Amino acid sequence: MLMTLDLPPSPIVPTIDLAAPGVRHGFLRLPYSRDDSAWGSVMIPITVVANGEGPTALLTGGNHGDEYEGPIALFDLARRLRPEEVSGRVIIVPAMNYPAFRAGTRTSPIDKGNLNRTFPGRPDGTVTQKIADFFQRHLLPMADIVLDFHSGGRTLDFVPFAAAHILPDKAQEAASFAAVAAFGAPYSMKMLEIDAVGMYDTAAEEQGKIFVTTELGGGGTSTANTVGIARRGVANVLRHAGILSGEPEPAPTRWLDMPSADCFTFAEHDGLMEPLVDLGMPVEQGDVVARIHSVDRTGTEPVDLRAGLSGILAARHFPGLVKSGDCAAVVGTV
């Protein structure tokens, strides 16, 4: 449910009419006074394509600035989508945390804010809090269905999957998983978050929205394969919602589950991580999935990291050096 706190207006001003029909390209302009621009602003690109009656889809990428499949697919969609193809409205924000996206970092270089841990935000807070507040109070209430693209960024790598969460409202949960199936990623995940406080996902779900997210790769880059999955997936979700005509393009998917915290294996030592299982490969509970080699001196035995349950390796740490506390591996059950 949308909170109705007595908050001041958002300082963010859209440079386009978000309700008007047709195609409009513009910005969410956030005033930001700084050393190199006393009366400057952060300009977050936004496109709205609207035509007639129908649902509203809110499509977002760049929630973390070092994840690229979403921005590529959404900048492309914003360029190509025409009103005559749409029944309803599509709101496209290819790079939500625009300062982080321009810096190529997970968090904002301005305030170190992790946008996906900042909701509901504050209109009188930091730059990242102001962005979260605008989505919380202005964009999310407009939407019927929300698709937020993620990948592993510079520190994780995933098998490419679309996902939704187990929810108290089973009708909302079923609608979200139906949208995941329509997305058509190689894998589809019933997802468990280890740190759900302040997430965009949670904000959307608490407002009753159908919410789909993804993890489409990682390593701080993208591939032709993962970008293709993103492009096809966003079109499929829009067809599934009835905003684009036609049926979703069929694609085989393998359903995975994250039933408990045993899915996660964390490093308890610093060092050089040697993967022993590649992404997508089967593992059994207790299998050694990686080793951490000491880099402080030679002649020491490596530390084994073991799977907490059986399934496939769905994610791993990226790149090679690991620190105590890092997520080293994630197993998804089939």
Domain ranges of the chain: 11-254, 257-330
Tell me the two tokens of residue 215. Answer: 């993890």
Is the model's pLDDT at 1 over the cut of 70?
no
Residue pLDDT, tens place only, 230-262: 999 999 999 999 999 999 999 999 999 998 999
Measure Cα distances from 2 to 15, 70, 114, 120 in Å: 25, 26, 22, 10
* 103-128 pLDDT, tens digit each: 999 999 999 999 999 999 999 999 99
pLDDT band of 215, cuts 50, 70, 90:
very high
Question: Is pLDDT at 90 greater than 90 in this prediction?
Answer: yes
Predicted structure pTM score: 0.95
CATH 2.60.40.150 fits 257-330, yes or no: no
Indicate if the pLDDT at residue 2 is higher than 70: no
Nearest residue to 237 via CA among 70, 12, 62, 8: 70
CATH code: domain 11-254 is: 3.40.630.10
Report angle CA 115, 120, 126 to the nearest 5 degrees: 55
What value does the mean pLDDT take over residues 125-133? 98
Q: Residue 34: which residues within 8 A CB-CB, separation 6 or more?
A: 40
Mean pLDDT (whole number) for 284-290:
97
pLDDT tens digits, one per residue of 51-86: 999 999 999 999 999 999 999 999 999 999 999 999
